[in-house]
Each structure stands twice: as structure tokens, then as C-alpha cells.
């Protein structure tokens, strides 16, 4: 499955600096609390994977103009409609009009703390040895125009870094966002020197570490 992504993964040139909000609250409006609750509840039904939800978020043309929870809500509406869990009549009315479709699981209030504490482990058994070891120099792929979900930030693409940690084999987010499914791969932490990433504008004493799947990397 290919699509145009509008997400700003790792920074898009021309948008200016990130300006943190001082004493930023957990939520900026009451509806955001409901958006979070609905997203978690629907995710727990097993109707889609977390990576499919991320893919739905980044396909929204107004992505860069939307707030955090506007993005979440828009993606959830898309996923619900695609799977027939809501109808056009439901969406127009703002409440259930047509009979609900059954879901595999229902997250009840008493199970929320344990569910959040457990998370969603992505580690899987290794079937092949790791291609890289700690200390290896690697170069990341270059994806000028992403045509699907990726977790490789733009600012490290085509750059050389050093493997600092092996995390074992994990679900590959890029394919798990599509019908292909998990397709697990080895996952590494790769450290990049700030000057190599940002040139003369970078702090020569800084470094950036990124978790990268095996298929993102090649020997440097």
C-alpha cells in the first residue's frame, strides 16, 4: 500500500524552529481528553494496529495545520469508516444511528490502568543473526518522497552514524502499517554527530541517536 504522507517526521525545511510552550498543560481543551480516551478504547478492540493508526494520521492533507488531537480524531474517523464501524449517518448525526458492528475486544474502565501499563510489546524471536554489531559504521537510506509509513527521520537520511545498541528483533512499523503485517527485523540504535547532521549550524559537541530497523541501513 502506497500513499502520500503529509507528516513532518523529523522536520521539514521552511517551517521554522520548534518553539516549546511554557508550562504546557496535558490538554488544551476538554474535548481532547475524550479524543485520547476514544483512541485508546478503539485501539484496544484490535480493529487496527498502532502503525495503521499512524498511517491514517499522516494521510490527512491538512496535517501540518491541525492540532495534535485533531490529527488523532481525524485518523480515527477514517479508520472507523474504512472498517464499517461507523456509517455516514452516524457521522452526520454525531451519535449512533445504525446498529453497531461487533468488535473483537472491549476495553472497560476497570481494565484501563493494567492495559496502559502493559503496553503493546513489539519484540519477536530472531530467526537470523544481526547484520550489524555495536561500533559498526552504517549509512541510512534516502527517501526523498515517502510513499508510505516510515520511522526514519528526514534529517538522518543518507547520513553516516555508529551502531551503539542492538534491541533484538521487532515488528517493522513500515509494513505493519499496511496489510503486509509485522515482517519483524533487527532494530538498532544509531548515533550521529550533530555536525554531520546539521553542518556548520550544528553544535559540534552534540549527537543524536535514532532507533533504526535493519532495512533502513547499509554498511558505510
Q: Which CATH number do you get for residue 80?
A: 1.10.472.20
Higher pLDDT, 167 or 154: 167
How high is the mean pLDDT of the chain? 91
Task: Single out the residue in 86, 118, 150 at which a domain terminates.
Answer: 118
Boundaries of domain holding 190: 123-219
pLDDT band (50, 70, 90) for residue 2: confident
| 46 and 90 assigned to the same domain | yes
Number of domains in the chain: 2
Report the alpha-carbon distance of residue 115 to residue 59 in Å, rounded. 28
| 38 and 83 assigned to the same domain | yes
Residues of 18-51 as b/e, b for ≥16 C-beta within 10 angstroms? eeeeeeeeeeeeeebeebbeebebbbbeebbbeb
pLDDT at 52: 95
Mean pLDDT of 18-37: 93
pLDDT at 173: 95
Q: Which CATH number do you get for residue 165?
A: 2.30.30.50
Report the alpha-carbon distance of residue 149 to residue 202 in Å, rounded. 28
Task: Single out the residue in 60, 85, 118 at which a domain terminates.
Answer: 118
* 3: in domain: no
Mean pLDDT of 179-198: 94
Is the pLDDT at 16 greater than 80, yes or no?
Answer: no
Mean pLDDT of 73-101: 93
pLDDT band (50, 70, 90) for residue 10: low
* 16: in domain: no
Is the pLDDT at 110 greater than 80, yes or no?
Answer: yes
pLDDT at 4: 78
pLDDT at 12: 66
| 81 and 131 assigned to the same domain | no
Give the number of residues written for the chain.
220
Task: Single out the residue in 68, 91, 118 at which a domain terminates.
Answer: 118
| 211 and 128 assigned to the same domain | yes
| 84 and 66 assigned to the same domain | yes
pTM of the model: 0.87
β-strand pairing of 137-140 with 217-219 = antiparallel
Is the pLDDT at 111 greater than 70, yes or no?
Answer: yes
* 162: in domain: yes
Amino acid at each position: 500500500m502506497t500513499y502520500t504522507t503529509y507528516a513532518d517526521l523529523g522536520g521539514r525545511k521552511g517551517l521554522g524552529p520548534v518553539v516549546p510552550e511554557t508550562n504546557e498543560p496535558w490538554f488544551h481543551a476538554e474535548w481532547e481528553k475524550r479524543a485520547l480516551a476514544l483512541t485508546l478504547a478503539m485501539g484496544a478492540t484490535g480493529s487496527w494496529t498502532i502503525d495503521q493508526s499512524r498511517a491514517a494520521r499522516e494521510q490527512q492533507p491538512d496535517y501540518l495545520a491541525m492540532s495534535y488531537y485533531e490529527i488523532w480524531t481525524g485518523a480515527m474517523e477514517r479508520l472507523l469508516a474504512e472498517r464499517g464501524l461507523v456509517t455516514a449517518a452516524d457521522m452526520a448525526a454525531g451519535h449512533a444511528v445504525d446498529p453497531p458492528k461487533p468488535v473483537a475486544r472491549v476495553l472497560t474502565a476497570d481494565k484501563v490502568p493494567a492495559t496502559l501499563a502493559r503496553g503493546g510489546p513489539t519484540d519477536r524471536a530472531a530467526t537470523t543473526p544481526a547484520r550489524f554489531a555495536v561500533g559498526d559504521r552504517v549509512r541510512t537510506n534516502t527517501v526523498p518522497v515517502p510513499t508510505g509509513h516510515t520511522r526514519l527521520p528526514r534529517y538522518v537520511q543518507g547520513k553516516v552514524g555508529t551502531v551503539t545498541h542492538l534491541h533484538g528483533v521487532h515488528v517493522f512499523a513500515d509494513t505493519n502499517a499496511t496489510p503486509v503485517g509485522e515482517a519483524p527485523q533487527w532494530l538498532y540504535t544509531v548515533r550521529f554527530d550533530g555536525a554531520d547532521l546539521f553542518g556548520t549550524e550544528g553544535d559540534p559537541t552534540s549527537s543524536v541517536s535514532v532507533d533504526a530497523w535493519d532495512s533502513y541501513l547499509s554498511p558505510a
